[in-house]
Structure 1
Amino acid sequence: MNKKWCINIVILLLFIISVRAQGNRGSGNICLSDTAQKSCGACIATAAECAWCKSESFFKDGRLRCDRYENLAKLGVCQPDDIVYPDDNLQLTKNDRVQDGVNPEDAVQIQPQQVRLKIRPNKPIKFKLNFRQAENYPVDLYYVMDLSNSMEDDKDKLAELGNLIADSMSKITKNFRLGFGSFVDKVVMPYVSTVPRKLRVPCFTRAGTPCESPYSFKNQLSLDLDTSKFAVQVMAANVSGNLDAPEGGFDAIMQAVVCENQIGWRPISRRMLVFSTDAGFHYAGDGKSQIGWRPQSRRMLVFSTDAGFHYAGDGKLGGIVTPNDGNCHMDFRGVYTESSNYDYPSVSQIASKVGEKKVNIIFAVTKDQKPVYDKLSNMIEGSIAGELENDSSNIVDLIRENYETITSKVVMNTENAENITVKFYTRCFGTDMKETNECEGLKIGQNVTFEVEVTVTECPANKSKWQRAFDIYPVGLAEKLRLNLDLVCECECERPGQEEPNSPLCFFGNGTYECGKCTCNPGRYGKECECDASKVSDEESDKKCIKPNSTTPCSGRGECVCGICDCYPRTANSAQKFSGTFCECDNYSCDYYDGLICGGSERGTCDCGNCVCNPNFDGPACECDNRNISCIASDGTLCNGHGECVCGTCQCDKESQYRGKTCEECPTCTRRCNENKECVQCVAFKSGPKTQDECDRDCRNINVQSEVSKSDGVQICQFKDDDDCLFTFTYGFDSNDELQIKVQRTKVCPESVNVLAIVGGVVGGIVLVGLALLLIWKLLTVIHDRREFAKFENERQNAKWDTGENPIYKQATSTFKNPTYGGN
């Protein structure tokens, strides 16, 4: 091989590699989109697999800088040092192990607590998140009760059961605090009678004592470790009265949740509020002191009632139009002071504050109200509704059961995660990993591992937002995972100090060279800023590149540079390219024959979408071979004299029974049967003279099936195999005139004589005949005996005896008559 020949081979290989590396614009490679080619930052933000080549000479050969990383790396079209492919990174900045709460501040239920992510847009990053239900986790339970007159018996029962509530919860945690508050409604018409006498004494109890003056909400007992105070305060609280059926429970919930210092909530906790009432609620504040929540606790609020509720907008009935501000308005006595000035909270306000303050609400309501509160609990995160007996006698069981229901289920949620996709995967306590953010059946001390997948969908236009944070938290708990994100939205080579302003590479200094690409100065455009916008604007330039009756420059297949189309290469195949004034032509969209464009170079070539056929070939895809070589039969005739050769293929006469590639097959022709006999034996039955190697080499297109018929092919063939059994097969031809053989799976073998059956039959016959003879003899004997016995019986019954004499007695005297005197 001479030197010139070697050089030509090397040049050809380099050309093929360079073209293949460019990818295919129509193959679904998102990295080759026009948006991705704009800059290095746009490229790496397009998709996880995209990389940018910053090599100075890369674009001059028409290649695209942004492509899949493997295309740039494996094909050698860009040096490894010139490939920009930023990596993501995960750093656990706070990773305390989950542990039980010996002291309130010791409990840790979520791990890790802080993570820093360096993340590319559209490239998911995964990490593990552990959750463990801590033992002896502090619990703050605040009981909010409807003290309208209809709840009098419930109040008395609650006072009796106060200590039982404390005992029941002490079995769950050693650090339990209990508080109590009550509500009625807004002290304005038409909710409460404003007649002075009614304002002083709105009603009388069953015992005849006056009811307490009406009020909206009152904190009777801030959260306290001395749970014995609960029963005292409940008993001391008196019922009051109002006019309408729904109650002002929403005002009570809002104040109990937001007045953290007054209620005594501990700040890091799950909060539950028990809401008890016999009415509805009005919708519509943020106080942090009146209720008295304490730090480091699970916050629970039990809301007890037997009625519906007012909600936002109902305040208009009393002339109150100012929306609820969601703040705390509680005086030193624990009374809500702004009920007559602010409307009821809305459901969304309640839901927002409950989620913000991490409070779990148990709606303890009577049977007729439960459907309404079930719907309400679906709208409020971490809440649940339970059925309350008419006298609240089941309140202890209700609190315990619903507490266990809430705490046995962990639900992961996100906060401030706009434009961020977060997916959770877990096995819970099963074996299959599934996409879900919740896990049920959790017990104290059990670990649940979530696999978290974070994806940022795009880079914000505002660079100040390229660093941001969001939280992942278990619903109802203040513990959370803080994720600090550093978005990778630009390449190192694009940062200040890395670019080259007024670079000579950008047409005599008419642009800034960065990441191997020119960013043109104002008034210049083009790949290398070679176009002057003062002579021909970018818009006018594009018009010159638009084909008549079209709206897309360069037919969407190239770039308009100074009014001239620079066609993109068709990079998936080195023989494919765009061409023409408007890049309207190509050499790859012609018809295919036998898997090749225009049948391959032997038959023709593709020119601007049409096949140009070589001599002896014709048709839209050069599929017709005019030489008729493939139509010659074994006897040298064209189609065996029983057909016509069309495009190099025999079309057999329909009137004749001849078929096949050269019309040589017929129902009475046995040549094919004999030719394929040995292959059928070998493939279907592992018999015959052929070895396995010969079988694998010579036998093709043989299919074994349960049964064959004449309709399966041209002719049915039958032969005897080595075991003297008859096997059957048929042969035919598919649409491409390829021989197809179908073999019947079972052979027909002559029936063999079963000697054992014959001997058994003879012996059995003899035995059966002997048994039959014995039965006949026995039958005749029985018949004869029965006849003799019948005869004896008959004679015995016909015997006549003198009924007056004893047949065995003989008298002592005998009488005789003289025959001579017998007649006298």
Structure 2
Amino acid sequence: MNDDELISRRKKQNADRVRAYRKGKKDLGAMPSTSTVQSDEMQQLRFAYSQAQDYPVDLYYLMDLSRSMKNDKEKLSLLGDLLSETMRNITSNFRLGFGSFVDKLVMPYVSTMPKNLQSPCDGCAAPYGYINAMSLSTNSKYFTDAVRNANVSGNLDAPEGGFDAIMQAIVCKSDIGWRDQARHLLVFSTDAGFHYAGDGKKSFFDVTNSSSIKELTLGKLELFALLGGIVQPNDGLCHLDEKGTYTYSKLQDYPSISQINVKVKEHSINLIFAVTSEQIGVYEELSKHIEGSSWGKLSNDSSNVVDLVKDQYNKISSTVEMKSNASKAVDIIYKSACLGTEGDLMVTNKCDGLKVGDVVYFTAEITLKECPKDPKEWKQIFQIYPVGVSESLIVELEMICDCPCEHPGHYLYKETPDVCEGNGVLACGVCLCNTGHFGKNCECSAANSSFPEMERGCRPQNSATGPICSNRGTCDCGVCHCNKLDGGKEISGPYCECDNYTCDLNKGEMCSGPEHGRCVCGKCVCDPKYTGSACDCLLDQSPCVSPENGKICSGNGHCSCGKCICIAGGDRQYYGDFCEKCPTCPGRCAEFKDCVLCEVHERGPMLQDDISQAKCGNCSLHPIIEEGKIEANETSGEHLCSFYDDEDCLYAYVYLYDETRQLRVRAQRERECPPKIFILGIVLGVIAAIVLVGLALLMLWKMVTTIHDRREFARFEKERMMAKWDTGENPIYKQATTTFKNPTYAGK
């Protein structure tokens, strides 16, 4: 067996043994298992979670009792019985507790003037840090009395000392009365912000908003940085006296957010921030940094606190999120179908929508990423637990990070001077060199590492010129020792020519992310499902299969990296996810039109006269008939078709292929037919119109001539009358007459 084989065998012998057992009573279930896997391989651990029926609930109400919350305190005292009754409708095993807080009793948080330490405001009690007014109990009347008798006080700055109160309410397990097997709810009620770690040393104080500006005599500046003088960090321990008062308020700084988060996880607390609308943004962001916490909007007088607590409890209890406290050497990936079928596993550690009796199965894929340097850490015990529930799954992890042949007494372990040039021991066929020596056979000494002949071994092809170790390492006795980098970056290779951070990027991720590939020696080594220089190309062509005809890209293109590249050119232009759309192509509309005409409108060439045959022959579209004008939803892949029948009536329908690649047709019930034209009516109408127009013109002409004649006659009469008055007789006038006599006339 050569050295390379021995080294390979040693690497493959790295493994972890997993044995799991349950800690708790009801919510988690898993069969204990023991298994061995090689390093970088995965071991599955399957377990189940179920929400227990009538599971015990401990609710501790922590309230800000600065003066601005006085009305809220009075309202809460009236709602104690209702809150208890509401929670007992959810679980009969319910207990309730109450505590209040203001702030630290040092400047600049509260005024330290003697009279203000007695009563900082009208009707206010002496200020205090935190008081446990009522430990967890089933007596709701005791809760009402505790709230009613709680002291309202005042402070100077806007933020409150709520973090001190939260820490004490969490860690003082026996004083508060938290039960081991119960869901722990800590309701934090306030209308202000919070102090956190570091504020005890220095705090900024707004003088313009202070009622004690005359007492402070700090001049005319609007903002001051005042030293609180508390430099001792918060120790995360319980410091309550026999009266339930926090005694280290003046001695320790406020806890940090991370300290609160650690204690919340350690004691399985569900922290609910019940805050007014002005503070929603602050506490919403805070809840993102505290495991298992949530927030709700509190009305100005806390009148909605019962509904808020009920809603937040239902939200918390209907969700399960799995976490673990495993070390960085262990990688755990959770998979679950949640409430779906087991075949629909997805990578998730969180499931929603759970009800009592629902069972959710999780599969934890446990992988040993690397062996810890300290052999004492090769055997570890960690917990897998649901957030906010005091139940957990204990996992014992044993890592095999060495071989028996590395220890004295094994036949492959030799310490004789004839091995490894006398500068080391031979273990598993590999030299383990003494300090100051190195090399394959410990032949190199650190004192002789600068000789030119040794440097030749640090260049490719044993060259006498060129960069040593690619200018990214040091050469010791002909062996390159590559530079160490931070941030997960590594330089490797016999000549430090390789690295894991210069590969191609895709969407800002190296090799398109760890799910697609990894960077090895400057090139992406892709997962079998992907290819390309950045592992950005999906090899699987199933996403390109058209649901219409089952062909790749509908036969109108080719599949590249899981996406269709459609044919473009000529008189046909294809587009769509499956190249199924073509504005200049007939599509399948013509194929279905006769069957739709027959099956929907009972006419057309497919309609059979022979009653012994099917009404529409071989047609089997079975379209869905809809009222009104039909339209196509192009986003879902529907195609709109419309044609004219033998009566020049327009009929329309749409078709698509659903997820199961089944043809679906929707048709419009009514055809759109042109209105009927009555020729005789049109002719008679035209004739009548002509006659009426002629009569109208004749009457108009007659009217005009009559009016004209009457005007002429009237003018004539007028002139004649005028002539009568102008006529006169001339007395000397004689009419010009001539008298003739007929001589033959006999008469006389």
With the length of structure 2 as denominator, give the TM-score of the two structures: 0.54
Aligned to 2:100: 182
Aligned to 1:360: 270
Shift in alpha-carbon separation, 1:161–1:315, aligned structure 2, 3 A = farther
112, 115, 121: which is aligned to 2:39?
A: 121
Which aligned pairs between 1:224-235 and structure 2 lie closer than 5 A?
224-235=137-148
Cα distance in 1 for partners of 2:31, 2:225 equals 43
Cα distance in 1 for partners of 2:437, 2:163 equals 65
SS at match of 2:60: strand
Counterpart check, 1:439 vs 2:351: yes
Deviation for aligned residue 1:201 = 3.1
Aligned to 2:463: 547
Which aligned pairs between 1:348-747 and structure 2 lie closer than 5 A?
348-430=258-340, 432-498=344-410, 499-501=412-414, 514-516=427-429, 542-543=454-455, 546-550=462-466
Aligned to 1:199: 117
Contact kept? 1:115, 1:483, Cα under 8 Å:
no
Shift in alpha-carbon separation, 1:540–1:108, aligned structure 2, 3 A = farther
Contact kept? 1:366, 1:390, Cα under 8 Å:
yes
Aligned to 1:130: 48
Shift in alpha-carbon separation, 1:363–1:503, aligned structure 2, 3 A = same
Aligned to 1:343: 253
Deviation for aligned residue 1:510 = 9.1
Q: Which amino acid aligns with 2:194?
A: F
SS at match of 2:311: helix
Deviation for aligned residue 1:148 = 1.8
Contact kept? 1:116, 1:484, Cα under 8 Å:
no
Aligned to 1:241: 154
Contact kept? 1:203, 1:211, Cα under 8 Å:
yes
Cα distance in 2 for partners of 1:430, 1:387 equals 32
Cα distance in 2 for partners of 1:508, 1:94 equals 50
Contact kept? 1:161, 1:396, Cα under 8 Å:
yes
Cα distance in 2 for partners of 1:537, 1:190 equals 64
SS at match of 1:240: coil
Cα distance in 1 for partners of 2:322, 2:431 equals 47
SS at match of 2:163: helix
192, 214, 219: which is aligned to 1:279?
A: 192
Deviation for aligned residue 1:388 = 0.8
Shift in alpha-carbon separation, 1:465–1:172, aligned structure 2, 3 A = same
Q: Deviations over 1:261-294 (max 9, x none)?
A: 1111123544221112232222249xxxxxxxxx
Contact kept? 1:115, 1:481, Cα under 8 Å:
no
With the length of structure 1 as denominator, give the TM-score of the two structures: 0.49
Shift in alpha-carbon separation, 1:549–1:176, aligned structure 2, 3 A = same
Cα distance in 2 for partners of 1:413, 1:182 equals 31
Deviation for aligned residue 1:355 = 2.2
Aligned to 1:642: none
Aligned to 1:319: 229
Aligned to 2:87: 169
Cα distance in 2 for partners of 1:389, 1:779 equals 80
Contact kept? 1:315, 1:321, Cα under 8 Å:
no
Deviation for aligned residue 1:563 = 9.8
Aligned to 2:21: 94
Contact kept? 2:6, 2:428, Cα under 8 Å:
no
SS at match of 1:273: strand
Aligned to 1:222: 135
Shift in alpha-carbon separation, 1:198–1:548, aligned structure 2, 3 A = closer
Cα distance in 1 for partners of 2:444, 2:239 equals 69
Q: Which amino acid aligns with 1:163?
A: D
Shift in alpha-carbon separation, 1:507–1:237, aligned structure 2, 3 A = closer
Which aligned pairs between 1:752-771 and structure 2 lie closer than 5 A?
none
Contact kept? 2:22, 2:394, Cα under 8 Å:
no
Contact kept? 1:179, 1:230, Cα under 8 Å:
yes
Contact kept? 2:7, 2:430, Cα under 8 Å:
no
Cα distance in 1 for partners of 2:362, 2:148 equals 47
Shift in alpha-carbon separation, 1:227–1:490, aligned structure 2, 3 A = same
Cα distance in 2 for partners of 1:276, 1:706 equals 64
SS at match of 2:321: strand
Q: Deviations over 1:64-112 (max 9, x none)?
A: 5556x9xxxxxxxxxxxxx99549565545258xxxxxxxx7x321233
Contact kept? 1:247, 1:279, Cα under 8 Å:
yes
Cα distance in 1 for partners of 2:110, 2:570 equals 93
Contact kept? 2:59, 2:96, Cα under 8 Å:
yes
- Comparing 479-488 with 534-543, greater Cα deviation is found at 534-543
Deviation for aligned residue 1:494 = 3.4
Contact kept? 2:413, 2:428, Cα under 8 Å:
no
Cα distance in 2 for partners of 1:108, 1:193 equals 51
Deviation for aligned residue 1:397 = 0.5
Contact kept? 2:136, 2:176, Cα under 8 Å:
yes
Cα distance in 2 for partners of 1:563, 1:341 equals 60
Cα distance in 2 for partners of 1:504, 1:189 equals 73
SS at match of 1:352: helix
Deviation for aligned residue 1:503 = 7.2
SS at match of 2:261: helix
Cα distance in 1 for partners of 2:415, 2:230 equals 68
Cα distance in 1 for partners of 2:195, 2:124 equals 22
Counterpart check, 1:158 vs 2:76: yes
Cα distance in 1 for partners of 2:95, 2:478 equals 80
Q: Deviations over 1:476-530 (max 9, x none)?
A: 223222222221222344343322526799599997555455667899988778x
Deviation for aligned residue 1:446 = 1.5
Contact kept? 1:92, 1:112, Cα under 8 Å:
no
Shift in alpha-carbon separation, 1:543–1:159, aligned structure 2, 3 A = closer
Deviation for aligned residue 1:182 = 1.0
Cα distance in 2 for partners of 1:318, 1:467 equals 46
Contact kept? 1:136, 1:173, Cα under 8 Å:
yes
Which structure 2 residue ranges, 5 or more long, are not aligned?
199-223, 470-475, 480-494, 496-566, 572-604, 606-645, 647-678, 692-748
Cα distance in 1 for partners of 2:156, 2:438 equals 78
Deviation for aligned residue 1:195 = 3.4
Cα distance in 2 for partners of 1:93, 1:370 equals 41
Query: How large is the RMSD of aligned CA atoms in angstroms?
Result: 4.7
Q: Which amino acid aligns with 2:95?
A: R
Cα distance in 1 for partners of 2:434, 2:100 equals 72
Contact kept? 1:113, 1:481, Cα under 8 Å:
no
SS at match of 1:254: helix
Q: Which amino acid aligns with 1:282?
A: H
Contact kept? 2:16, 2:397, Cα under 8 Å:
no
Deviation for aligned residue 1:315 = 10
Counterpart check, 1:112 vs 2:30: yes
Aligned to 1:695: none
Contact kept? 2:420, 2:426, Cα under 8 Å:
no
